[in-house]
Amino acid sequence: MSETHTIFKSIGVVGAGQMGSGIAQVLATYGLSVVVHDLNETVLSKAQASMEKSISKLIEKGKIRETTSVILGRIKFSSSLEDLAKVELAIEAASENKEIKKIIFRKLDALLAPTAVLASNTSSISITELAAATKRPKLVLGVHFMNPVPLMKLVEVVRGQLTDDSTVNRVATLLALIEKQTIFSKDYAGFIVNRILMPMLNEAMFTLYEGVGTAEDIDKGMKLGTNHPMGPLELADFIGLDTCLSILEVLYDGFKDPKYRPCPLLKNYVMSGLLGKKTGRGFYDYSQKAGV
């Protein structure tokens, strides 16, 4: 798992939340140097702690042979975006908000070498629009990792309108080296996976909102009745309810089709700060259950 390679000598990750920290951890596990940037030291310390916990679990299971300190030694944590200046690939994994992402892309475009590749881990936002915020649209693409990154095999690669073949091929080679499976999507709202998944999660929320069943029964129904490993409400909590709402808004806005309208209950949860597992409460209460 520690083979070093030179497709991209150094990689930057912007945003050290659930996804950014998972992406950085996996890249470092495969021997790559990574610079992780987030807005402040508190978030970065939390990211480091969550990586330590995840790496330790993978070591216990025999999936990683190196020590936690060797892997974390390849990661530089920084609250200054300027520390990404020399990276050859930047993967943006900041909050699912178009304006935030456009600002980050503009800054990265000005900061990085003109040959550097800029990728977004967005779940739904137009790669073409992010690329248009830069002067290098050929070198911009989507790399949509799944959560949790160290365990989930799939990465959805999204080609913007002007992304060139060599950008897609270089990134696909990197993804193969870190043992991810890839699928390729055109750049339409939600790409492949979330275009199919989010309407189902939203419908589960409407089922709860209209009082058709309890959260437990909705999830049990889908787990035991359709063989899903997680129930839809549990999965929405796991993804983050703010992220789910943002994705549904992108789908609704992108297709102008009422089938994507976000459930009012989801909106109320997000407005109340109940964002799911990451804040301790969403459709379920996680405050008493450490590690659920």
* One-letter amino acid of 20: G
User: Binding ligand NAD by CB under 6 A: which of 29, 123, 163, 185?
Assistant: 123
Shorter beta-carbon distance to ligand NAD: residue 196 or 212: 196
Nearest residue relative to ligand NAD (C-beta): 17
Shorter beta-carbon distance to ligand NAD: residue 95 or 226: 95
3-state helix, strand, coil in the chain (%, to 5): 50, 15, 35
Binding of ligand NAD by 109 (CB under 6 A): no
Binding of ligand NAD by 121 (CB under 6 A): yes
- The answer to whether 202 and 267 are in contact (CB under 8 A) is no
Compute the distance between CA of residue 52 and CA of residue 69 in angstroms, rounded to an integer.
9
Residue 281, helix vs strand vs coil? strand
Strands (E), the chain: 10-14, 33-37, 75-78, 89-92, 117-120, 140-145, 154-159, 181-186
- Binding-site string for ligand NAD from residue 2 to residue 41, where x marks contact by CB under 6 A and - marks none: ------------xxxxxxx----------------xxx--
Compute the distance between CA of residue 183 and CA of residue 162 in angstroms, rounded to an integer.
18
User: Binding ligand NAD by CB under 6 A: which of 70, 72, 100, 172?
Assistant: 100
Shorter beta-carbon distance to ligand NAD: residue 70 or 193: 193
Extract the tokens encoding 240: 């983050």
User: Binding ligand NAD by CB under 6 A: which of 239, 241, 248, 274?
Assistant: 239
Binding of ligand NAD by 250 (CB under 6 A): no
Provide the annotated active-site residues.
123, 144, 156, 194
Q: How many residues of this chain interact with ligand NAD, rule: CB under 6 A?
A: 28
CA-based radius of gyration for the chain: 19
Interface with ligand NAD (CB under 6 A):
14-20, 37-39, 43, 93-96, 100, 104, 121-123, 144-147, 239-240, 243, 278
